[in-house]
Amino acid sequence: MIRHGGGLPDISGCAVGMDLGGHKIFAARVADGVVEESLEEATAPGRALEDVTDQIRNIADRLAPRNVPVGVGVPSMLDLEREHALKPPNFPGWAGVPLRRLLAEKLGRFVVLENDANCYALGEGWGGAARGFSDYVVFTLGTGIGGGIVLGGRLLLGSSGMGGEIGHMVVGAFEQCGCGGVGHLEAVGGADPGERHARELGLVPDLRMLWGERNGRAAPVWDRLLDSYARSVASVAHIFDPQAIILGGGLSRGEGFLDALRPRVEPYLALPFKGKVELRVSELGSLAAAVGAAAQALWVQAEMGGAGA
């Protein structure tokens, strides 16, 4: 039976969280859900394993002493044990590497890995828009589309650790997704297909600029994007019946985004759900995944009885 109320299991203490991206690393020292210090810097050129892991070590050392654990949000599907990145698309040569063990040895710290979108969800639950909730879903809308599902205060990981891949729900037809599938939400509603559509219409391919034109020249672009989000939100609401659905990522930050999305969701909802789906925008923004990675480090360490690396 799903437990409602009470939020995530008690998470207290201090940890460093990092959101590893192909272009930037966001990092934060977080204590009891509050960001004490944060930084961002460009990811090491070439994204070579040795260079990026050195960079992660240096960032951790700048933020906290060696007795403070580190969580790293990785833009990749992970194995169930959270030891390996299975196919990180922006980090060639990393697949199959025992990344968690390598980082633990290099950093001399307790280290955990988690999918970056799952970290985003944990961050919003620990210190953001889902604070106090035990059952919620997070979408991250950007160049790629990810998400995290928390049920009964726990991440939904699935049988092999790859569960919760919201961006790969099938909402389209034959649009090619970078994962190798077709018709996925990311292939229909990601920033790249949106900007390709804008180009085809002779518009500037910058969705942030085109948000102001959503009721004008850019209406066809935003109609397609918002419809793909609405279908996905309704599907998630029906399957998981969450307390809230949180929208994060760059494409959710436009002024009035929820006001534009809500009426598009309603027609897709079954009658008992109409008017009852709670939509919220992320409170933590670009720091959400780092905060969630810190939470995961503390949570896993506590479950292991405070074990070291």
Check residue 306 and give its pLDDT. Answer: 65
Check residue 303 and give its pLDDT. Answer: 85
Furthest C-alpha separation in the chain = 59
Check residue 3 and give its pLDDT. Answer: 35
Provide DSSP, the chain: ----SS-SSP--SEEEEEEE-SSEEEEEEEETTEEEEEEEEEPPGGG-HHHHHHHHHHHHHHHS-TTS-EEEEESS-B-TTS--BS--TTSTT-TT--HHHHHHHHHTS-EEEEEHHHHHHHHHHHHSTTTT-SSEEEEEESSSEEEEEEETTEE---SSS----GGG-B-SSSPBPTTS-BSBHHHHHSHHHHHHHHHHTT--S-HHHHGGGTTTTTHHHHHHHHHHHHHHHHHHHHHH--SEEEEESGGG-STTHHHHHHHHHGGGS-GGGTTT--EEE-SSGGGHHHHHHHHHHHHHHHHTTS---
pTM for this predicted structure: 0.90
In tens digits, what is the pLDDT along the chain, a chain of 309 residues? 233 446 777 788 999 999 999 889 999 999 988 999 999 999 999 999 999 999 999 999 999 999 999 999 998 889 999 999 987 878 988 988 999 999 999 999 999 999 999 999 999 999 899 999 999 999 999 888 989 999 999 999 999 988 899 999 999 999 999 888 999 999 999 999 999 999 999 999 999 999 999 999 999 999 999 999 999 999 999 999 999 999 999 899 999 999 999 999 999 999 999 999 999 999 999 999 999 999 999 999 988 876 655
Check residue 1 and give its pLDDT. Answer: 23
Check residue 287 and give its pLDDT. Answer: 93
The domains of the chain, with CATH numbers, are: 14-119+286-303 (3.30.420.40), 133-282 (3.30.420.40)
Check residue 6 and give its pLDDT. Answer: 60
Check residue 88 and give its pLDDT. Answer: 84
